[in-house]
Amino acid sequence: MPFTETLKFECETGNYHTFCPISCVAWLYQKISDSFFLVIGTKTCGYFLQNALGVMIFAEPRYAMAELEEGDISAQLHDFDELKRLCVQIYQDRNPSVIVWIGTCTTEIIKMDLEGMAPKIEQIIGCPIIVARANGLDYAFTQGEDTVLAAMAHRCPVIQTKQNQEDQAPLVLFGSLPNTVAEQLTRELANQGIKVSGWLPESRYEELPQLGSGVYVCGVNPFLSRTATTLMRRRKCQLIGAPFPIGPDGTRAWIEKICKVFDIQPQDLDQRENNIWESLQPYISLIKGRSVFFMGDNLLEISLARFLVRCGMIVYEIGIPYMDKRFQASELNLLEKTCQQMNVSMPRIVEKPDNYNQVQRIRALQPDLVITGLAHSNPLEARGITTKWSVEFTFAQIHGFTNARDILELVTRPLRRNNHLKDFGSAKRALVRTL
Amino acid sequence: MKLAYWMYAGPAHIGTLRVASSFKNVHAIMHAPLGDDYFNVMRSMLERERDFTPVTASIVDRYVLARGSQEKVVENITRKDQEEKPDLIVLTPTCTSSILQEDLQNFIRRAQTTTDSDILLADVNHYRVNEFQAADRTLEQIVSFYVQSNSGDIARTKKASANILGILTLGFHHQHDCREIYRLLKDLDIKINLIIPEGCAVTDLYKLPQAWINIVPYREIGLMAAKFLEKEYKMPYVSITPMGLVETASWITQVCEKTNSQINYQKYIDHQTRFVSQAAWFSRSIDCQNLTGKKALVFGDATHAAAMTKILVREMGINVCCAGTYCQHDGDWFREQVQAFCDQVLITDDHTRVGNMIAEIEPAAIFGTQMERHVGKRLDIPCGVISAPIHIQNFPLSYRPFLGYEGTNQIADLVYNSFTLGMEDHLLEIFGGHDVKTVITQKLSTDNNLTWDPAAIAELKKIPGFVRNRIKRNTEKYARSQKVDQITVEVMYAAKEALAA
């Protein structure tokens, strides 16, 4: 690979595989424990959810499909009455604090006025209804969460308390994380004397944080650009642009940036970060000098690549569905700096990648590890290319100092498997060929 | 609008894609929004497929919505033609794209001028048919396209031969069943002409009418193609499913009669039934006596649910309280098949109705899909999976046919294991049950001088049950090594961080 000085951005055809953004209900209904998610779409959406969420389906989930039938499409049935009927039923059966409507491709195409109907039905049943258009026409995978949180930002109460001069300005973090991880990050900031006044979302809808001018907000995930925009423009909050707390380097930079905004000198961060790196050594020795190729499907790619470069890996390509250069500015900056510091070539960043072309490039480059979706994993493995399933990074706990190891646990798993199995069953040196 | 949590049969395009990707060197292009290519994941994961699934999406996005697909579909077809050089490209509309009402046929006409592959538009209505009906129709469509485009003369093979229609990817035990049918036909001295669509090249389809008969093992997929070939080429077909001893015998009889076989097939059936299959003897053995009159519920696709009902009743003496199918389009056939064998017939695609029926009847065992298996778990009733929809564990690596004589052995095992497991559970309960749960925490977690503060206990409770004990032990081990006797949330996090060091 030629050595390059700056990050290169490219854009391909957008023929790539990713999950539909409605998949965000999978983790959001679990995070917001008093919610109910209603996906308004067709059999195709339902089939996807059913297959993607596997076991969760059977556990009386707090989500369902409003399955559109031919009568709905051809407007023989009245949308309003139909949705009202279903929502009344949901409210009676489950008594949620909020119903989230997920608009899909079909509701977009038949131009169903979800935003218009929601307030009226909300009035009738007396339960808040939030509309998020998480459809495959506009968004990819994790961006689904972005649309839901952006819609939810409108429902956060207006900040009430007049604060004293000495008090720290309120800080709200946004991004859905498992409660344990949210707690860890909150404590990490508390150790620096920074109080987190709330999270968007909290684990209950009724506990949404107060927002308004004078409130600082900071994101924890790279795919939340719409939420960030909404918080700034509509709720007049001040955005803290920082790298994301993924990996010890990212976590440190994230804390430092927040400290800087609140004019606090960070304490013991050096020590904390070094200790974590120390504990990661056994993993790092496995991946140092190895190459990795991100096909791109969940928007975590830049942050993960930055962390892996810092671990000593060489990143050939970062595929990514959508690149918000403004929201990810600090992260891109840190990536660039990390590459310089580690003295490795800058990876190319490919927005809206083309999977077919990528497979050709993978063939040519023969990377040590390809991070990709399930559609390509087995076929690549069969061709002797080691892969890691990308969706796991979305569901695993990867944020903060505490969870850095979990990322490397995932990244090194296929490499450790290779070490264990040596060439047994490998496609490259096929056992079968000698038989 | 319908409130739905779960569905038995997939959307129409899944059926079309299953047929297209089963053929060799056929590529399907979906006209679909981002994320609808979920089929590729299913095939790659469930079938553990080594090759890239020959399905790509021509993405429908905002621009397409505003301006129409225009060049995009044509470009994607042309591009695939050059990249993969397929024999056939099947353009597959999805439920989203079919509302756009773009003239996809016109795109095909335009693409045809620049490509070498044949191109077909899958002719399915997404709001009227399900996965199975769509697969049936697509298979017929491809068959009729290639058979009719052959103008040469069609001579039957010299020796008796048969086509097998409807073996395809993501089918329930299809590969194993196909091998079993192949073995049966070999024994009967009938050659296999073509197996479609799995592994067949479309360029070979012209040979279809050379066979003497067509065999359609599954009711859901292949019948339309068989009827087409019967009408156009006077080919008889056998649509009995050779599942269970009785049905396999009548399948063999029909196959032999329709091919005017000179073999003494009655003798063959007798020999196989008594010596190759263990199922007939099993029904006579003492084990099976215990199953007499036990209550069971059967639910699945029409083929498997009907065959299973007959096996349980006729071949094992089990009492089927309720037999049901989600193939509503084929409800009449199903009812006619099972009416004489069960107390009630249930035809629905609403899994809650099936669940309620199970709760009401309280059978000793269920034979159904993965959904019924989960209902069974909740109600503590054992379940044998006999039909799609299925999970990865229903794509076994070992040889597990449901059809033919080896199939009868497999089914006997499945039935017997389901019932005995239920019995074991029952006995364990009577005698006090297993006591593994308490041991782990009491013996292996050395608590004594360690105290957990309330916040830490709350934090511990957030951790999923199956790893909670391990984390508790690790935390305590760490606390002891650090000479800490009060476990706080910080200690928990520190323990996790220290684990690797």
| CB A243, CB A253: distance < 8 Å | yes
Which of A17, A381, A432 to mutate to probe the B interface, most B CBs <10 Å?
Answer: A17
CATH fold of the domain at A272-423: Rossmann fold (3.40.50)
For B262, what's the count of Cα atoms within 13 Å in the CB-facing half-sphere?
2
Q: Which of 3.30.70.141, 3.40.50.720, 3.30.70.580, 3.40.50.1980 is the CATH number of A21-139?
A: 3.40.50.1980
Domains A21-139 and A272-423 share a fold: yes
Mean pLDDT of B442-469: 72
Q: Is A366 on the interface with B (CB under 8 A)?
A: no
The full set of domain ranges for chain A reads 21-139, 171-262, 272-423
Q: Which of A40, A379, A405 sits opposite B50 (nearest CB)?
A: A379
Model confidence at B342: pLDDT above 70 = yes
A20 carries a ligand binding annotation: yes
Element at A294 (helix H, strand E): strand A291-294
Find, in chain B, the residue whose alpha carbon is nearest to that of A359.
Answer: B52
Q: What is the pLDDT of residue B439?
A: 38
Q: How far apart are CA B484 and CA B499, in angstroms?
A: 16
Residues 6+ apart with CB under 8 A from A49: A22, A23, A25, A26, A39, A57, A63, A65
Compute the count of residue pairs across chains A and B with CB atoms less than 8 Å apart. Answer: 186
- Average pLDDT for residues B365-387, to the nearest whole number? 92
Chain A residue nearest residue B375, CA to CA: A58
Asked whether the beta carbons of residue B463 and residue A180 sit closer than 8 angstroms, the reply is yes
Q: Is the pLDDT of residue B302 over 70?
A: yes
- In this predicted structure, what is the pLDDT of residue B237? 97
Q: Residue B264: what are its φ and ψ, rounded to 5°?
A: -80, 80
CA atoms within 13 A on the CB side of A128: 14
Whether B435 shows a pLDDT value over 70: the answer reads no
Q: Which residues in chain B have their CB less than 8 angstroms from residue A378's CB?
A: 44-45, 48-50
Give the residue on A whose Cα is nearest the Cα of B62.
A137
Amino acid at A139: Y
Q: Point out the least confidently predicted range of A381-395, B113-127, B142-156, B398-412.
A: B142-156
What's the one-letter identity of residue A69? E
Give me the pLDDT at residue A435, please.
Answer: 35
How would you class A389 by CB atoms within 10 Å of its CB: exposed for 0-12, middle for 13-18, buried for 19 or more?
Answer: middle
Could you give the residue numbers annotated as active site of B? Answer: 287
Interface residue of B21, B34, B62, B80 to substitute, partner A, most A CBs within 10 Å: B34
Q: Do B3 and A66 touch (CB under 8 A)?
A: yes
Q: Which of B3, B99, B496 sits opposite A64 (nearest CB)?
A: B3
Q: B185 to chain A, minimum CA–CA distance in Å?
A: 30
For A:31-70, CB contacts with B below 8 A are 40, 42-44, 46-48, 50-52, 54, 57-58, 61, 64-70
User: What's the CA gap between A249 and A291, in Å, rounded?
Assistant: 20
* Partners of residue A411 in chain B, C-beta under 8 Å: none
Between CA A21 and CA A141 the distance in angstroms is 4
Q: How far apart are CA A287 and CA A364, in angstroms?
A: 21
Query: Is the CB of residue A18 less than 8 Å away from at least one CB of chain B?
Result: yes
Domains by residue range for chain B, with CATH = 12-129 (3.40.50.1980), 161-262 (3.40.50.1980), 280-430 (3.40.50.1980), 451-500 (1.10.8.550)
**The pLDDT of residue B426 is above 80:** no
Percentage of residues in chain B having pLDDT higher than 70:
95
Q: Is A214 left (phi over 0), alpha (psi -120 to 50) or beta?
A: left
The reported pLDDT for the residue numbered B432 is 63
Average confidence (pLDDT) over B262-291 = 89
Quick one: pLDDT band at residue B380, thresholds 50, 70, 90?
Answer: confident
Q: What is the mean pLDDT of chain B?
A: 90
Binding residues of B for [4Fe-4S] cluster, as ranges, are: 36
Predicted confidence at residue B438, as pLDDT, reads: 40
Q: Does A407 contact chain B (CB < 8 Å)?
A: no
Minimal Cβ distance to A50: which of B7, B96, B500: B7
CATH number of A171-262: 3.40.50.1980
Task: Mention every residue, 6+ apart, whose C-beta is less than 8 A from residue A132.
Answer: A100, A101, A102, A103, A144, A147, A148, A150, A151
Which one is predicted more confidently, B419 or A241? Answer: A241
Confidence at residue B441, expressed as pLDDT on a 0 to 100 scale: 41
Ramachandran region, residue B480 (left: φ > 0; alpha: ψ -120 to 50; beta: rest): alpha
Give the DSSP letter of residue B274.
I
Q: What is the pLDDT of residues B148-191, one digit of tens each?
A: 887 777 789 999 999 999 999 999 999 999 999 999 999 999 99
Q: Are A113 and A31 spatial neighbours (Cβ–Cβ below 8 Å)?
A: no
Residue A213 burial class via C-beta count within 10 angstroms: exposed 0-12, middle 13-18, buried 19 and up: exposed
pLDDT of residue B425: 67
Q: Which structure tokens are listed for A196?
A: 């987190």
**Residues in chain B within 8 Å Cβ distance of A401:** 497
* pLDDT (tens digit per residue) in B53-72: 999 999 998 888 888 887 88
Q: Does A73 sit within 8 Å of B127, measured CB to CB?
A: yes
Tell which of B84, B96, B100, B350 to mutate to test the A interface (max A CBs under 10 Å). Answer: B96
- pTM for this one? 0.90
- Interface mutation target, options B8, B41, B371, B491, chain A, most CBs of A under 10 Å: B41
Distance from CA of A374 to the nearest CA of B (A): 5
**What pLDDT band is residue B444 in, cutting at 50, 70 and 90?**
very low
Q: Is ipTM beyond 0.95?
A: no
Any idea what the Cα angle at residue B204 is, between residues B203 and B208, rounded to 5°?
130
pLDDT along chain A (435 residues), means of 10: 72 92 92 94 91 67 89 84 94 93 93 94 95 94 96 93 75 95 95 94 94 95 97 96 96 96 93 94 95 96 97 96 95 96 94 95 96 94 93 93 94 91 66 40
Secondary structure of chain B: what % helix, strand, coil (to 5)?
55, 15, 30
Search chain A and give the residue with CA nearest B10.
A47
Residue A55, pLDDT score: 55
- A105 chain-B contacts, CB cut-off 8 A: 33, 60, 96
Average pLDDT over residues B282-303: 89
Q: Is the pLDDT of residue B203 over 90?
A: yes
3-state helix, strand, coil in chain A (%, to 5): 45, 15, 40
Contact between A214 and A313 under an 8 Å Cβ cutoff? The reply is no
